[in-house]
């Protein structure tokens, strides 16, 4: 087993641990949804930007893809998994229609894009 910091939970910054129904909690949710939709320049107040969050997650996925392993299991935190999956492997509407419960599982199958050929409509991993 390898532990990788890059798939840790999203850094909520100032809204950390605040309920989702508060103004600050709603800002966190709106920001995470914006990242999944491609607006990665936004930054959580006191936290990371979407580019930083997706970039660190991308690096771990790229490492796993380059490892030569036929199957990889990655265990992470809900918001980070939801945002990365919507942004990179599906789309926001698809992900929103299929909520991920705590202790849930997302299975992604496919191959890593070849050098110079990013996934269609998505940033390269």
Whether residue 4 is predicted with pLDDT greater than 70 in this model: the reply is: yes
Please name the helix (run of DSSP H) or strand (run of DSSP E) that holds residue 79, with its range, or none: helix 78-84
pLDDT in tens, 36-95: 989 999 999 899 999 999 999 999 999 998 998 888 889 988 889 989 988 887 677 777
What does pLDDT average to over the chain? 81
Full-prediction pTM beyond 0.85? no
Dist CA 41 CA 20 (whole Å): 22
* C-alpha R_g of the chain: 15
Contact 7, 15 (CB under 8 A): no
For range 99-125, the mean pLDDT: 56
Please name the helix (run of DSSP H) or strand (run of DSSP E) that holds residue 28, with its range, or none: helix 23-36
């Amino acid at each position: 087993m390898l532990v990788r910091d890059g798939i840790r939970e999203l850094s909520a910054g100032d809204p950390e641990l605040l309920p989702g129904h508060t103004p600050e909690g709603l800002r966190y949710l709106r920001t995470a949804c914006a990242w999944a939709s491609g607006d990665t320049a936004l930054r959580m107040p006191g936290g990371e930007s979407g580019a930083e969050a997706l970039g660190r997650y991308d690096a771990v996925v790229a490492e796993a893809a380059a490892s030569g392993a036929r199957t990889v299991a990655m265990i992470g935190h809900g918001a980070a998994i939801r945002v990365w999956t919507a942004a990179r492997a599906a789309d926001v509407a698809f992900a929103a229609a299929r909520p991920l419960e705590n202790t849930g599982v997302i299975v992604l199958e496919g191959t890593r894009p070849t050098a110079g050929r990013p996934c269609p409509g998505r940033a390269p991993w």
